[in-house]
Amino acid sequence: MKLFKYTKQALLSTALCCYGLTAISQTIIPAPKEFFVGSDCFYINENTSLYTNLKGTAKKDFEKYLSTLAAPFNQEMKTYKNNKDNSIVFALSPSRFHESEENYTLYVNTRQIIITAPTTNGLFYGLQSLLQTIKSHSTKGAEVPCIAIKDTPRFPYRGFMMDVSRHFRSVDFIKKQIDALARYKINRLHLHLTDAAGWRLEIKKYPRLTEFAAWRPVEKWKDWWFAKDGRQYCREGSTGAYGGYYTHEEIRELVKYAALRHITIIPEIEMPGHSEEVLAVYPELACSGKPYQSGEFCIGNEKTFTFLENVLSEVMTLFPSEYIHIGGDEANRKTWESCPQCQARMKAENLKGTSELQSYLIHRIEKFLNAHGRKLLGWDEIVEGGLAPNATVMSWRGEEGGIKAVRAGRQTVMTPGSHCYFDAYQDAPNTQPEAMGGYLPLSKVYAYHPVPPGLTSEESELIHGVQANLWAEYIPEDKQYEYMMYPRILALAEVGWTFPERKSYRDFHAKALQEVEKLQASGYHPFPLKNEVGHRPESLQPIDHLARGKKVTYNAPYNTTYSARGDSTLTDGRRGDWTYSDGSWQGFISHPRMDVTIDLDSVTNLHSIKADFIQVIGPEVYLPCEIIISVSNDGKQFTEIMHLHQQVDHNRVIDFKTYGWQGNVQARYVRYQARSGLQYGGWIFTDEIIIE
């Protein structure tokens, strides 16, 4: 074959001079590994022919995908014979550079476009890059700048997780997201199909899962979760029933749709926790034998294994994915401590503690999956109590679980909450629809490096990739789901695909601004990046004041999980961002109030004493309902200079407020006390006590 006559040199000499990286690096998301840009163009028009050496199903599938795109690509591919002008060539070339099966090269000169790759995945990604480089349409056709790209992904696994349990999403909605994910070279779609809020997959052997466990009488998760009369399920088709599930037929269609776009759908079936909905309809699988008592399967009961294996058998007939995700997160292990069957299992299997009991279940399920040629994937709790021999770990509670996994020789997919949980606010919370809390702007997603420092090269090789998760508790609407997904998924795509030396947030941000407009024009509902407010202004600059660097005595301790920078936090001049977990906000819970005394070293003239507080209703972080500020010259006798009682507005899901005193007083010691605005406890967070 002479497909490769147009080497990079040929390309550059016929058409172009290489004039820098900016233009193209501001076009393709994720940024390719090597690229050169020329000043000339190729025009795709109705006379442009498509050629390929693909055959059979591979050719048909490629054509089928092309036919879904807007013109000028919806045409048949001819068999390649020799180079022809005004053509686009898709050439499978198994011997091409072989760093990854997803490699491709894309050459564009004034006469031809040539995409070569060792697999159809690579050809598909070459096509995606080509589609993203089409600049404009004129009478000559669609303009593509002359370029030379040689590209390969950083990680084999580049994933996105959709939570379809908390709020159900239609097949069409998922397909729409698959279209976009493919554009950004994401290759795994993990569906969180089961959870307390609803079971979402038809299982023929267990019809009650979809007749009842897929439906609830309340639409919004929040109203259902906090319902005064408890969380209930209801019959499919009953008045007001909210929910849904995917039939076998729909799943097969979805799997095919994704495969055509080189995306593997990974199903997640939760066990042994997060299973309230199953136990509500099959209560014999719960330790208590009763519905609505717990969310954990009884591991002592053989019926649990019969159920799980039957379900997984059906799942495997539907999803060809190598990985089957079995959840494994957040099981309340206490449930098993008082269960005679679980205790008997622990004794019989010589299991020390309930972590090992959970691990017993995971090991058994792994054996079952492996026997059927599949691999087990689970949240990082599966590391505890003895990691199953072939399991892959999804590290979500930071990177520790993933580090332990790779040190034990297992693969891991990094998805730490700090950088990959898209249910957090993406901008200043008071400008955003209600979210789970936290603050994860585009820049922070982009800054993520999935390989933690300190790993050996063998361990680093076991970092299989990266995934973003979009939990849907606070997302009833489809539009809002897209809003939370885009453009952050673009940043994640670049984290997963682009080599660190090619990453530049400045370039990416410019591309993302354009891409948001394209997404909008294509009917998506991304967050309008151009309106981004960004970090909390107070967090950007240190503040100087009289108490800066002065000693703080804690009359009530701070919580060790939210210690921020320890004893120096409240007088270090550094203020927090839009989330209490950023390491600048200090949290208090074990005592009824925050209570600190600051020693200014000498008696000083004071005019202002103030502190900021944050309220996030979900995790019970409240503004103060009572504040006392007092001063002293000897540190023993204090005089109250402010005592505030206030009603905290529990409807404000997120809020930031400053409380303080102004006046004239002389003192050496300042005591600041604040009590959380939740009647029975609750958190209180502050970042700095500013004295002027």
Catalytic residue list = 195, 274, 330
* Nearer CB in complex with ligand ACM: 61/276: 276
Q: How far is the CB of 572 from ligand ACM (least distance, A)?
A: 32
Which long-range contacts link 214-218 to residues 24+ away (Cβ below 8 Å)? 214/243, 214/244, 214/245, 214/277, 215/241, 215/242, 215/243, 215/244, 216/241, 216/242, 216/243, 217/241, 217/242, 218/242
Q: How far is the CB of 417 from ligand ACM (least distance, A)?
A: 7
Query: Could you say which residues in the range 11-70 bind ligand ACM, by CB under 6 A?
Result: none
Tokens representing 14 are 């016929």
CA distances from 492 to 100, 467, 486, 521, 691 (A): 19, 7, 10, 22, 42
Options 34, 101, 143, 329; binder of ligand ACM; rule CB under 6 A: 329
Q: How far is the CB of 375 from ligand ACM (least distance, A)?
A: 18
* Nearer CB in complex with ligand ACM: 297/638: 297
DSSP code per residue over 231-297: -----TTSTT-EE--B-HHHHHHHHHHHHHTT-EEEEEEEESSS-HHHHHH-GGGBTTSSTTS-S-B
* Nearer CB in complex with ligand ACM: 194/584: 194
DSSP state of 561: G
Q: How far is the CB of 415 from ligand ACM (least distance, A)?
A: 8
* Nearer CB in complex with ligand ACM: 379/669: 379
Q: How far is the CB of 396 from ligand ACM (least distance, A)?
A: 4
Options 35, 396, 659, 683; binder of ligand ACM; rule CB under 6 A: 396
> Where are the alpha helices (H) located in 86-134, listed in sequence order?
120-133
Q: Does 398 bind ligand ACM (CB under 6 A)?
A: no
Q: How far is the CB of 329 from ligand ACM (least distance, A)?
A: 4
Q: What contacts 522, CB < 8 A, 6 or more positions away?
A: none
* Nearer CB in complex with ligand ACM: 331/512: 331
Q: How far is the CB of 487 from ligand ACM (least distance, A)?
A: 22
Options 62, 90, 242, 379; binder of ligand ACM; rule CB under 6 A: 379
Count of residues touching ligand ACM (by CB under 6 A)? 4
Options 101, 219, 253, 330; binder of ligand ACM; rule CB under 6 A: 330
Q: What contacts 397, CB < 8 A, 6 or more positions away?
A: 380, 416, 417
* Nearer CB in complex with ligand ACM: 11/278: 278
* Nearer CB in complex with ligand ACM: 149/470: 470
Tokens representing 368 are 């079952």
Judging by beta carbons within 10 Å of its beta carbon (0-12, 13-18, 19+), is residue 79 exposed, middle or buried? exposed
Burial readout 660-690 (b: 16 or more C-beta within 10 A, e: otherwise): bbeeeeebbbbbbbbbbbbeeebbbbbbbbb
- Residue numbers at the binding site for ligand ACM (CB under 6 A): 329-330, 379, 396
